[in-house]
Structure 1
Amino acid sequence: MATSESTNLIDSLASDTDIVSWVNDALDQPYASRDSAVELAELDQHITHIISSLDIACEDSSSELERVIDDVSRGLPRLTYDLHFMKDSAVNLQGSLATARKKSGAVVPDQTAAALEQLQILDTIRSNMEVAREVLQDAESWSTLEMEVTALLSEQSFAKAAERLSEANRNVVIFQNTAEYDPRRTLMVSLQNQLEASLSSALVSAITAQDLGACREYFSIFCNIQREVEFRNYYNASRRTSLVSTWKDAQLVGCDDSSPRNAGTTFLEFLLKFYDAFSSLLNIERVSIPSIFPNPSQTLSSFIIAVLAALQPPFSQRLSAMMSYHGDEALKPTITAFQVTEKFVADVNKVIEKMQFTAISSPRLEEASLKAETSPMKPSHTRRRSSRMSISLRSGWQKSVLGDSLADVEWEQEVFQPFLDVQLDYESLERRILDHTFSKLASQGAGSEVNLTRVLKERVVDVFSSAEDSLGRCQALTYGYGAVGLVKALDKFFQAFVNAWTIHLRPAPSSNANIEETRVVDIDYSPQDWNNFQNILHRLSSLRVFSDRLSIFEGKLWSYIASVAANHKSFQSDPTNHPMTPSRGLTQLMEQSPLYSAELLALLEKGEAPTGREPLSGSGIRQTPLLALTRAEVSSFAKACQVALQDTILSPLQKYLSSYPTAPLWTASEDPTQKNSIASGDLQLPSFSIPPSETIQRVIQGLLNLPGLFEDYADDDALSFSLQSLPYLSNEVLKSLSESFVSSSLAPPIAPRSAALAPLRQLDSEVVSSIWLSSLGYNLLRHFSNTILPAIEALTPAGATQLSVDLESLSNVLRSLNVEPEQLGRWKSAVEMNKSEIGGGLRENSEDPVLLQVARMRGWANLK
């Protein structure tokens, strides 16, 4: 019940047009009472209740307006006809009346007409005098009202006093808009207060003793003096006392600062006992309330809300304290408390259902209920709304789901209200429990690279087991409304796991022990190179295990989202028979909360497709990635491993090429084989007898021996993992391989580079080797073209001849590795040009980098 100060504030809000100034004035008012904070809370609750009532009234008005518009639209076609018909009828009636008046005037004599007129005047005077007498009698009764009521109260004739006050309440409207209204209204209220005060102690005693007959009589008296709300407050306050005291006196572990640390009762244990006591009390009220009140279901609902509102400390405060006590794993006991609350709500609904059956079978209650419809129960409580509530995205949802009575679910909303903030924070709470699990897993396992790799594979099982538990937690607490937060939490969890373990998996220190003796002919790999090679393969193998499990889990996640989407679709088509949650009140809270967002609807729309799959360009299908951050982290680490592996494989060849730009043959003044060449200007065209330089021969021999390196490793799953992320790989080669692979029906096609990583199994070892060799070839080509060739300082005609031979020889070998050496062809063409040809080329394209480099090497400056 709002206090006088709260009422005055609300009245001032109704008359004030400037909301900002009203808020400032309200905040500036001093609150001397120690209960000022409580009054502000009551004011906030009162305003919140008014807003809720206004929303419902707006919804009802909108529906009624739509119905009126429909009726008017259907009646418009006949409106013109009806108006025309009425006009014709009115004209005919006017003529008939004129004729009748003329005939009646001729029939009745003038003397008789005068007598009838006098009789009519006398009858009017008599009627007015009777009305005046009644008014005077009512006015005269006010002069004796106080004396009569006081006398009746002294005689304890409370029912007669209530009837007298009820009569006075009906008559007070006579004095409305007069100077007498306010004093008489004040007198009536004062007498009502005296009657209530005289009854209060007897009423409390009757309620405590469960004297249903006396309670029913007192209820009638309070209704007569318009104090039904006060009676309900007396009743609720008296009946909830023991339950509220049980809650207040409980000392719980981790929930109350004053509780001893060795207290043996936890919040969950106490909550079970509290709900049992609450249910037992409601079963008693199931029998008592219908004997007193005409609307038992609404009365029981208001009683439940009154009990919850009186709990000190509030339920939400103890729930928050429990979560703080349990730390990172707070979500687990919170879900248990939520499920216990759901069971309590289900039990209460059974109690209400039994009460409704009892009311239907009682004629007296049916009659009382019909009477109560003419004077609906005023709310005796205020709703506590969360500041994080939002308007439902679906118009008309309240009416379709809840029907016409908000009170049917209002108590359910009050019960579940403390859990709403927890549901809104589900993503962060889920992330905390996943991070806690991750920290425990990350602390396990140490040692060598091989041990870390083995531990990683073992931890992958634990990680995905924990992730699957998240699906159950999301369903238990949010019924799928937290699916967006679930996906984000899991994505960050997996990303952190991959990132942390990739930091641990570093190459082992250089050592000659435990090194395989395998060697490739003519490739000078050091023990450190072999050690790095095997370590990187171990990392890729571990990453493939994780990626495969990730794809399987992502399928389960899509299946869960698909089930939520199916439930949501059924709920939209038939909300009454297919609710999203077991409680209609809980469903309304969830639908009106920020959880029901456009992001959730978009996710559910994707989930409506079969297992979240979409077509892939070309042929086949691939799974739409849900865990984008994790996929990106896996792809990044896979590519880093592949780059490191390629650097290890190509390191001997790059060492050969390191001295290539400073070789003396580029500045040689005379070519020993010049006699076998044909002079052409200042450029010596190479003859077929000129061999490649020693460095290029060693590089070519190394490239030709690379396929042998993959013979022992091509079947390794590590090499066939994430081929899409291989560096410098030609898209055309990958596309061609994908098409031939699909035609052989061995496995799904290789997705484009832009697609998410897809697990590729049963790849032919020759296909894997070809892809890797092609990527290695492009890697070496890029290094040779961008780093080695531009480092040549000077180039004589003889040196240009040798360079042309080297480029031609290297290009031929690269083509055998499915590499198109276009850049080497440009260099070869440039070094074979004479001065005038290079000058002409630069005049056409002055920014050609290859021509500029060759011109610099040949000493031909300012050719442009």
Structure 2
Amino acid sequence: MTSPSASALVQELDDSPDVLTWLNDTLTPQDNGISLAALESLLADLLTATDISAVTTSSSLERTIDDVSRSTPRLTYDLHFMRDGALSLHSALAAVTARVPAAPTTSAALDKLQMLDTAKRRMEAARDVLREAESWSSLEAEVTALLAERAYEKAAERLSEASRSMPVFAGTPEYEPRRALMVSLQNQLEAALSSALVGAINSGDTALCRNFYGIFANIQRECEFRNYYFGSRRAGLVALWQNDSEVLDDSEPSVPAAQKQVFSAFWTTFCAGFLAVLNAERTSIPAIFPDPQITLSTFITSTLSTLQPSSPQRLASLFNTAGSSALKDVIAIYKTTEEFAASTDKIMEKIQFSVRPMDGAQDSPLPPKHTRRRSVRMSMSWRSNSATNFSRAQQSNDLLDWDQTLFQAFLDFQVEYGTLERRLLSDELAFASTLTPDKNSNVDRARLLRERAVDVFSVAEESLVRCMAFTYGYAAPGLVSSLDSSLASFIDSWTQSLTANLSIHSNTPAESEDDLADLDYSPQDWSNIQLALHLLASTRAVLDRLGIFESKLRAALVQIATAFRLAQHEGGLYTPGATKGAGLLLAQSPLNSATLHTLLSSAESQPPAPLLTITRASIASLARALQSSLQHTLLAPLHAHLSSYASLSLWSSSGDPKSIRTASDLHVPVFSLSPSDVVQRVAEGLLNLPRLFEVYADDDALGFSLNTLPDIDEAYLSGLSEQIHVQSPELGHNKRASFVSSLKPVVLSPEAVAAAWLSSLGHSILSHLTSSVLPKIRTLSIAGAAQLSSDLGYLSNIVRALNVEYEELDRWKEYVGMNDEEGRRVVGEKSQGDQVLVLVAKMRGWM
């Protein structure tokens, strides 16, 4: 840390109650303390400065004491002299008072003076009224004569003098006739000057135009003069606008398409012509008008308001002809307008230096010995006056509203940007679903999904650029909403196409691995498995691209939020790169809402939350559909085995009751029964599943979106993640397990991923067994119940080997294994609400 200055050190000494306290505070070790060497050096400098100040003060004090000592004796003499003078004056006043005769009181004299002053003022007012009456009686004749002589300046001065006397007749019956006469004479003067004025304006005679402006100002017709001037100067621009309106792309359909012109190209030409006119007026307007900046601003706004059809109408018509893509044209026109506004703003800055400075009084000369000091003072005064004039001109430039009028045409489209962008994205992303899997099954759908995702996110990045270019980030909530809904629609279209049927069909059957040839999968099943894995990998690639795009979107939002914060700290409005008018319109528009600031705050929050939540939900739905299809294919042989399980004859077979229970109701162990052939084949299929996942262990697609696996337990997934974190970080062959709702992937080993899939498959097959297969059993004899209990127990042991716990399977096993007496008792106690018990009771005849 740098050492404090001497002034800061003195301030610290003054703030401390005593020197010892300051020393203790200074020498105490602190994080922001200074070094002792630096403090010693600073104290040495301070002591030296103190000694010098003490010597200087002592010398000054001695000189002061000497001056007082010399002046004190003369003070008594001066006081005595003043006393003598006062006594002499008192004596003289007394003598004068004695010689002056008695006079009236002061109040009486003042009253008389007031009466005389009132009489004087009233007489002057009456004289003025008489003169004005005499002047008005000859006003019409004088002005007519001056107009006949073309003495327009004198006529204007005469009318100006008469106009100043109008308030004299206010409230009298003569006011209206005189006002009508004044207006009539002013109209005559204007009519006499109009042709000459138009000629002077068209010829560019600035001196004559300035003379005419003075005449119009004398008769309070400056507005009419500006109308004449502006009408002449903008005639070419108005003609260009009207003539080219017939060949624009949104004009009458009778115009051939080859002759039509794009409005954005015409706008560029129009702005270039407008800028050329403004550059010419940069020298003409200051030579004529006393307020060139305001005059030029008024010229711009009046020209824009004269155009027919207006700019907002022309922009709105683009959407009628070009549809949603017109937004790109509007943004291009907006950027051209910004360039025009930037160039015009420079003209405004230059024109402020054309204002003629006001005349000021010259300083009187000073004695020679002060010449040098006076010259410096005059130079500083000149710089100060120049800075003041520049500051006033800059403030005047800030108050001009020409650029607000210029950008007002775009404000409605900026406010509705979210809706316009959503329509454009919808149209541009429509191509992403033109070749869906069920429309053309000969294409590689996994590769097609990746390619479409590249195009889709390229379009999304273009929309981000459009939002920043057109609204400078103010429409960020609308952009995020549009992107989220459009990207989600793209994903949903693929989900609907891929899940049109329960299974995914492929025209290219794949061969199984040699060590898996004994599994009950057909070549079509192997092809479906490969296709599902490839589509899952492609979906994961889409999620990765979404994450990258969300990072770019969040970075843009953070940049906007930072600029907002800096602008608020400086007391201004944030609109980077925009002109003052455009920025003010955006800041005062509904876009500057609480929703915007909430979005910007969430973008800066830690940990960051997903921005495109609807899209992530759609990706999760697609992953869930693909995982369900893959799971259906993997479990298809097991489903086939279980299809006839409920209709087996052994459920109603009487069998030998003694093999189950003795006459004295003595239980014989159930495990003495062998499981049925169907359950054995199902168990073999479940035990073969780990071999299948060993083959696909290196496929990252299996680890994608594990939280969307059918019948997966979230607590089980959390347990897998915790187990991986507590193990050694040097696990080999780790893979990234993606959760769609999370921004950070979880690192799981291939074994953990396989365990998650096996858990999901185990829960799914057991769910199918308990909800779709077992309830179809019509009746259970004692022998059939014993066999079913044996099957369920055997199957329970098999799924536990796969780390699957299924409560409903245990309940089936428990209720099926009960004898009739126990079963009827349990049914009487808790049959309500227990659907498994009700089903078993009906099969066993307990109800």
Unaligned residue ranges in structure 2 (runs of 5+): 1-100, 362-392
The AA in structure 1 aligned to 2:512 is E
Q: 1:587 maps to what in 2? A: 583
The AA in structure 1 aligned to 2:201 is I
Q: 2:203 maps to what in 1? A: 209
Cα distance between partner residues in 2 of 1:181 and 1:128: 21
Say if 1:686 and 1:805, in contact at 8 Å, map to a contact too: no
Is 1:310–2:303 an aligned residue pair? no
Q: Cα deviations across residues 638-677 of structure 1 (Å, max 9, x unaligned)?
A: 11111121122112212222222232222232337x3585
Say if 1:692 and 1:802, in contact at 8 Å, map to a contact too: yes
Q: Cα deviations across residues 475-517 of structure 1 (Å, max 9, x unaligned)?
A: 2222112222322232233223223334444666577954436
How far did residue 109 of structure 1 move? 6.1
Q: Relative to 1, partners in 2 of residues 1:665 and 1:290: Cα closer, same or farther, differing over 3 Å?
A: same
Q: 1:596 aligns with which of 586, 592, 595?
A: 592
Is 1:652–2:637 an aligned residue pair? yes
Q: 1:138 aligns with which of 132, 142, 155?
A: 132
Say if 2:249 and 2:261, in contact at 8 Å, map to a contact too: no
Q: Relative to 1, partners in 2 of residues 1:844 and 1:113: Cα closer, same or farther, differing over 3 Å?
A: closer
Q: Relative to 1, partners in 2 of residues 1:653 and 1:775: Cα closer, same or farther, differing over 3 Å?
A: same
Q: 2:682 aligns with which of 699, 702, 711?
A: 699
Cα distance between partner residues in 1 of 2:563 and 2:108: 83
Q: 1:343 aligns with which of 321, 339, 342?
A: 339
Q: Relative to 1, partners in 2 of residues 1:134 and 1:795: Cα closer, same or farther, differing over 3 Å?
A: same
How far did residue 586 of structure 1 move? 0.5
Of 129-138 and 780-789, the range deviating more from structure 2? 129-138
Say if 1:635 and 1:757, in contact at 8 Å, map to a contact too: no
Of 523-532 and 653-662, the range deviating more from structure 2? 523-532
Is 1:465–2:458 an aligned residue pair? yes
Q: 2:219 maps to what in 1? A: 225
Q: Cα deviations across residues 574-620 of structure 1 (Å, max 9, x unaligned)?
A: 365964333011111212223223322221222234xxxx43xxxxx
Q: 2:251 aligns with which of 249, 256, 265?
A: 256
Q: 1:689 aligns with which of 672, 675, 687?
A: 672
Say if 1:693 and 1:802, in contact at 8 Å, map to a contact too: yes
Q: 1:278 aligns with which of 256, 266, 274?
A: 274
Q: Relative to 1, partners in 2 of residues 1:187 and 1:696: Cα closer, same or farther, differing over 3 Å?
A: same
Of 292-301 and 809-818, the range deviating more from structure 2? 809-818
Say if 1:412 and 1:585, in contact at 8 Å, map to a contact too: yes
Q: 1:854 aligns with which of 834, 840, 843?
A: 840
Of 459-468 and 777-786, the range deviating more from structure 2? 459-468
Say if 1:738 and 1:749, in contact at 8 Å, map to a contact too: no
**TM-score when normalising by structure 2:** 0.77
Please show how residues 535-614 of structure 1 align to structure 2 within 5 Å.
Answer: 535-574=531-570, 579-609=575-605, 614=606
Cα distance between partner residues in 2 of 1:767 and 1:111: 119
Q: 1:789 aligns with which of 774, 796, 799?
A: 774
Say if 1:807 and 1:828, in contact at 8 Å, map to a contact too: yes
Q: Count the aligned residue pairs.
A: 706
Cα distance between partner residues in 2 of 1:597 and 1:282: 37
The AA in structure 2 aligned to 1:144 is S
Q: Cα deviations across residues 361-410 of structure 1 (Å, max 9, x unaligned)?
A: x325999xxxxxxxxxxxxxxxxxxxxxxxxxxxxxxxxxx996587441
The AA in structure 2 aligned to 1:430 is E
Q: Relative to 1, partners in 2 of residues 1:405 and 1:815: Cα closer, same or farther, differing over 3 Å?
A: farther
Of 560-569 and 424-433, the range deviating more from structure 2? 424-433
Of 304-313 and 638-647, the range deviating more from structure 2? 304-313
The AA in structure 2 aligned to 1:297 is Q
User: Alignment partner of 2:259: what SS?
Assistant: coil
Say if 1:715 and 1:765, in contact at 8 Å, map to a contact too: yes
How far did residue 636 of structure 1 move? 0.9
Please show how residues 380-399 of structure 1 align to structure 2 within 5 Å.
Answer: none
Q: 1:642 maps to what in 2? A: 627
Q: Cα deviations across residues 710-750 of structure 1 (Å, max 9, x unaligned)?
A: 12123212211111101111122111012123334578997
Say if 2:738 and 2:745, in contact at 8 Å, map to a contact too: no
User: Alignment partner of 1:629: what SS?
Assistant: helix
Q: Cα deviations across residues 173-198 of structure 1 (Å, max 9, x unaligned)?
A: 22223333222222222222222222
Please show how residues 475-486 of structure 1 align to structure 2 within 5 Å.
Answer: 475-486=468-479
Please show how residues 186-197 of structure 1 align to structure 2 within 5 Å.
Answer: 186-197=180-191
Q: Relative to 1, partners in 2 of residues 1:365 and 1:636: Cα closer, same or farther, differing over 3 Å?
A: farther
Is 1:725–2:725 an aligned residue pair? no
Q: 2:492 maps to what in 1? A: 499
User: Alignment partner of 1:625: what SS?
Assistant: coil
Say if 1:464 and 1:553, in contact at 8 Å, map to a contact too: yes
Cα distance between partner residues in 2 of 1:849 and 1:775: 23
How far did residue 348 of structure 1 move? 0.9
Please show how residues 118-129 of structure 1 align to structure 2 within 5 Å.
Answer: 121-129=115-123
Q: 2:352 maps to what in 1? A: 356
How far did residue 782 of structure 1 move? 1.3
Say if 1:487 and 1:627, in contact at 8 Å, map to a contact too: yes
Is 1:734–2:717 an aligned residue pair? yes
Q: 2:756 aligns with which of 771, 782, 785?
A: 771
The AA in structure 1 aligned to 2:692 is L
How far did residue 419 of structure 1 move? 2.3
Q: 1:56 maps to what in 2? A: none
Say if 2:509 and 2:526, in contact at 8 Å, map to a contact too: no
Q: Relative to 1, partners in 2 of residues 1:118 and 1:285: Cα closer, same or farther, differing over 3 Å?
A: closer
Of 451-460 and 496-505, the range deviating more from structure 2? 496-505
Of 513-522 and 844-853, the range deviating more from structure 2? 513-522
Say if 2:534 and 2:701, in contact at 8 Å, map to a contact too: yes
Cα distance between partner residues in 1 of 2:296 and 2:540: 60
The AA in structure 2 aligned to 1:793 is R
The AA in structure 2 aligned to 1:701 is E
Unaligned residue ranges in structure 1 (runs of 5+): 1-106, 368-401, 616-622
Q: 1:269 maps to what in 2? A: 265
Is 1:426–2:417 an aligned residue pair? yes
Is 1:490–2:483 an aligned residue pair? yes
Q: 1:438 maps to what in 2? A: 429
Greater C-alpha radius of gyration: 2
Of 770-779 and 264-273, the range deviating more from structure 2? 264-273
Q: Relative to 1, partners in 2 of residues 1:330 and 1:687: Cα closer, same or farther, differing over 3 Å?
A: closer
Cα distance between partner residues in 1 of 2:488 and 2:275: 46
Q: Relative to 1, partners in 2 of residues 1:260 and 1:704: Cα closer, same or farther, differing over 3 Å?
A: closer
Q: 2:650 aligns with which of 640, 647, 665?
A: 665
How far did residue 299 of structure 1 move? 0.7
Cα distance between partner residues in 2 of 1:775 and 1:204: 90
Cα distance between partner residues in 1 of 2:472 and 2:524: 55
How far did residue 217 of structure 1 move? 1.8
Identity of aligned residues (%): 47
What is the root-mean-square deviation in Å for CA atoms of aligned residues? Answer: 3.3
The AA in structure 2 aligned to 1:314 is S
User: Alignment partner of 1:662: what SS?
Assistant: coil
**TM-score when normalising by structure 1:** 0.75
Say if 2:495 and 2:625, in contact at 8 Å, map to a contact too: no
Q: 1:411 aligns with which of 402, 407, 413?
A: 402
User: Alignment partner of 1:480: what SS?
Assistant: coil
Is 1:633–2:618 an aligned residue pair? yes
User: Alignment partner of 1:226: what SS?
Assistant: coil
The AA in structure 2 aligned to 1:818 is N
Cα distance between partner residues in 2 of 1:522 and 1:687: 31
Is 1:813–2:798 an aligned residue pair? yes
Q: Relative to 1, partners in 2 of residues 1:449 and 1:777: Cα closer, same or farther, differing over 3 Å?
A: farther
Q: Relative to 1, partners in 2 of residues 1:826 and 1:567: Cα closer, same or farther, differing over 3 Å?
A: same
Q: Relative to 1, partners in 2 of residues 1:501 and 1:148: Cα closer, same or farther, differing over 3 Å?
A: same
Q: Cα deviations across residues 277-314 of structure 1 (Å, max 9, x unaligned)?
A: 22221112111111111111111111111221222332
